[in-house]
A and B are shown apart, each in its own frame.
Chain A
Amino acid sequence: MNLVSLNDALMLCHTYRGEGQNRTISEVRRLYRHRVGGTASALKVQEVCRGGETEACKKARFTETASFFGGIGLGGLGTAATTASAPYLCGAIGFASAGAGGFVCSLVLIGIGSYISGKGGEWGVEMAGEEIYRVLQ
């Protein structure tokens, strides 16, 4: 799953407070963990669409939805690819028979792979969403 910025977390906390719901920190954390990807995208759309059904709002719906699914899709693929490469790459740098070193090595590789591919997917598929929006206009 993609890593997310502190800003997204703060936006989410703000939203829950803004809705007048007194949630505990652990509740917000739980909600944040499960919903942050979609929530961050939904919040951006909400922000743009505050002024009504403008062109920017319609476009944001396409781009943010595409960005969200692109992040999940390519993030998953990147995770699978780095997981498959982990025994080979970790073996090459001296962690041939696992143990704590091998575990940490594979964990770091999978984390980096997931993050970079997730970000790449968000960027690329968001552009695709923008292109689809233009074609439909």
Chain B
Amino acid sequence: MIDFYSWHPYARIAFLIAPVAIGIPGMAIQVYIALYHHQKITAGFQRSPIVRGFVGNWSGSSLGARLIQVSMMGGIILWPGSHLRRGTLDPEELRSFPPAIKRLLVVSLVFVFTGVAWAAIGFSLLKLSGVK
């Protein structure tokens, strides 16, 4: 399927390291949000069961708990459609979410998902090609 070993060695190294290299800036943005904007993220969602439930389950002030809350809020804000249809996310609260943090959350998740998708597709293709 892929003749991996016919590639230039630098291309092989870049291909293998790319998922982590792309994803790490996304994680760094999430750490920044967790450290400096954590309060603003969940505070505005008093009438949204999806936020109170899912994000509230992981409450805590440790960096790990904060990172999980940031990631979950990112997912809810990136794909709000199904939550709005079910009525578990208040549209007014979603609209009043700080736009600067929303932008940061979306950018961070784009980096993270690009890295994960690269690894999932790229590494699977290598495995299927018999690369060991």
Contact = CB atoms under 8 A, between A and B. Distances in A.
Interface in B76-132: 76, 78-79, 82-83, 86, 88, 109, 112-113, 115-116, 119-120, 122-123, 126, 131
Given A80-B112, A86-B75, A87-B76, A131 B13 contact: yes
Interface residues of B, number: 44
A90 B24 CA distance: 26
B57 A77 contact: no
Contacts of B27: 76-77, 80
A76 B68 CA distance: 11
A74 B19 contact: yes
B44 interface: no
A90 B57 CA distance: 14
Contacts of B120: 120
A92 B82 contact: yes
Given A80-B26, A81-B112, A131-B9, A87 B83 contact: yes
Interface residues of A, number: 39
B13 A80 contact: no
A102 B76 CA distance: 14
B16 A86 contact: no
A93 B100 CA distance: 32
B41 interface: no
Given A88-B83, A120-B120, 15 more contacts: A73-B20, A74-B20, A77-B27, A80-B30, A84-B71, A84-B74, A86-B54, A88-B75, A91-B50, A91-B86, A96-B86, A98-B53, A102-B54, A106-B72, A121-B119
Interface of B: 9-10, 12-13, 16-17, 19-20, 23-24, 26-27, 30, 49-50, 52-54, 56-57, 67-68, 71-72, 74-76, 78-79, 82-83, 86, 88, 109, 112-113, 115-116, 119-120, 122-123, 126, 131
